Amino acid sequence: MLLEILLNVMLNAIAAVIQVPLLIFHALGLEIPLSLFDVHFSRADNVSSPLGSRRSSRSKEPTPKPNGSLRKKQGQDQDIDILHKRIIDAVDIVEIVHAHGYKIHEHVVQTRDGYLLSVHRILKKEATSTAYLTESPVVYMHHGLLTNSELFVLGDKTSKCLPFLLVDAGYDVWLGNNRGNKYSRKHLTLSSLDAKFWDYSLDEFAMFDIPDTIDHILDVSKKESVTYIGFSQGSAQCLAALSLSAELNRKINLFIGLSPAMIPKGLNHPIFSFFVESAPNLMYRLFGCRAILPSVVFWQKLMGPSLYEDVVTKSVTLLFGWTSDNISSSQKKVGYAHMFSPSSVKSVVHWFQIISNRRFQMFDEGGSSGSRLVYWSGVSLKTNRVAPFPTQTITTPMHLIYGKADSLVDIDKALEHLPISTTTYGVETYEHMDVLWAKDVEKSVFENVFSKLDEYHVTTK
C-alpha cells in the first residue's frame, strides 16, 4: 500500500511537470498563436496569381535556380544559401515549394468521419493549368509519425526532393496529411481543443484518411489507380488500409515503402523503453489525451536553427541510437526546421502497443495486451486479444526500401507478415531518415524508386 502511494505521488509529480505547459496551451488556446510568429501565409497556386507575381514580404531574394548548370562555384554557393534560408524561414509548404521553383495546389479532403485533410499537388514550374497532367500516372506520397507533407520537399537541394524529380519525370504528384497535423486541424463538428478531436490512432488513418484521400485524388485526376510511396508510418498506414479493403488494392497499383515501419524494434534508451512496455494509462497520465508535440514550433523558433539542430540530433541518438552521419549539417538545419508536426497521444500509444506485442495490430482499447506491466491497467492478459491487420491478404505489388542500420525497421519481421511476392532493397549504413536526406540519396534510393516505377509501367503497358 505504501509503495503504491509513493508511486502515485512520483507519477503525479512527473505528470505535473509535463502537463502544466500542455494544459496552458490547450486551456487558453495558446498553441496556435505561439506557433505563428509571422502572420503571413502564402496561398497555393490554385487560389492565387501565377508563381512569381506574389512573393512573401519576408523573402525579397530572387528565386534560386538549384538546377542551373553553368555558373561559377561562388554563385552556386550563394544560390544554395538563399534556398536554405528561404526554406528555413518558410511558414508553410507553399513557400517551400515556391523556393524550389515549383507550383503547388491545395485540396481539402472530407473524411467519412468528418475530418478535413489538406492535400498538396505539385506542378511543373512552367505550368499554367493542370491540363498537361491528363495522361500522367499519379504518385501519392504520405509522411511519417509526427510530421506532415513538408517532409518530402525539405531536401537541401532540389535534386534531393523526390516529389520534384517525379514531377520532372512526368508524374502527377500528390502529398497527403494525417488528421491533427499542421494542415489538418479542422473537423465538421469538433474543435481541435476538444479531447474527442484527438481520439484517433492508426486505425482511423487506415480506415478513413488513406482511402478517402485516394478517392479524392482519383476523382480529381480521373484516373483508375495511383502509385503509393510512404515513409515510415506512412508505409504502415497504407499496409493497414490495404489489409482492410480489397477495393483499395484495386486503386493502388504499386506500393513503395521507404523505411517502412510495421513492427519496429523499439526505442534505444531503457527509460524510454520503459514507457513502451507500460500500460497506456501511464502515457495518458503524463501527456494527456490530446496532442503530442503541440508547442514544437515555439521551441524551434526560441532555440534557433543551430541549437535546435543539436537538440534534435542528440534526441534521436538517445531515443533510437542514430548517428545521423549520412546527413549533412546543412540538411539537418533545413530539414529539422519543419520536421515535426502534432499528432494524437493515442497514435503514439498505438505504436507502443505494436512494439510491445511484436505484432502489427489494431489499437487495443483495453490497453493491456502483451504489456509486462499489465497490472497498472487492471486488466488481465487473457481478457482481450486485439485483431491484427491482415497484411498477408494484400494483393497490391509491394517494394520496400530500407536502411540496413535502421534501428526502427525490422525488415525480416515485416516480411513474415507480407505476401511472398514483396521485394526489398537494403542500403548499407543507412538509418531511418537517410532514405530521404542522406548525402547520396539520389543514387542510393531515388534511382531504385524510379527503377521500380519504370518496371511497373513497362510491365502494365
Q: Which are the catalytic amino acids? A: 232, 406, 432
> Which of 18, 13, 11 is CA-nearest to residue 287?
18
Cβ(439)–Cβ(330) below 8 Å: no
Residues 394, 238: Cα–Cα separation, whole Å: 10
Q: What's the DSSP call for residue 394?
A: -
Tell me how crowded residue 129 is: count the other CB atoms within 10 A of its CB.
8
Cell reading at 252? 493502388
> Which of 387, 381, 120 is CA-nearest to residue 240?
387
SS3 breakdown of the chain: % helix, strand, coil, rounded to 5?
A: 45, 15, 40
Q: At what angle do helices 270-277 and 345-357 cross, to 10 degrees?
A: 90
Question: 254 in helix, strand or coil?
Answer: strand
> Which of 265, 336, 267 is CA-nearest to residue 305?
336
Q: Judging by DSSP bridges, how do beta strands 172-175 and 138-142 pair with one another? A: parallel
Residues 441, 439: Cα–Cα separation, whole Å: 6
Residues for the chain: how many in total?
Answer: 461
Q: What's the DSSP call for residue 63?
A: P
Residues 346, 290: Cα–Cα separation, whole Å: 8
Residues 13, 255: Cα–Cα separation, whole Å: 46
Cβ(367)–Cβ(379) below 8 Å: yes
Cβ(125)–Cβ(184) below 8 Å: no
Residues 350, 143: Cα–Cα separation, whole Å: 17
Q: Which ranges of 304-428 would DSSP assign to H, the alpha helix?
A: 305-320, 329-336, 345-357, 411-416
Cell reading at 421? 511476392
Cell reading at 122? 505539385
Cβ(370)–Cβ(317) below 8 Å: no
Question: 142 in helix, strand or coil?
Answer: strand
Residues 383, 377: Cα–Cα separation, whole Å: 12
> Which of 298, 311, 308 is CA-nearest to residue 342?
298
Cβ(118)–Cβ(106) below 8 Å: yes
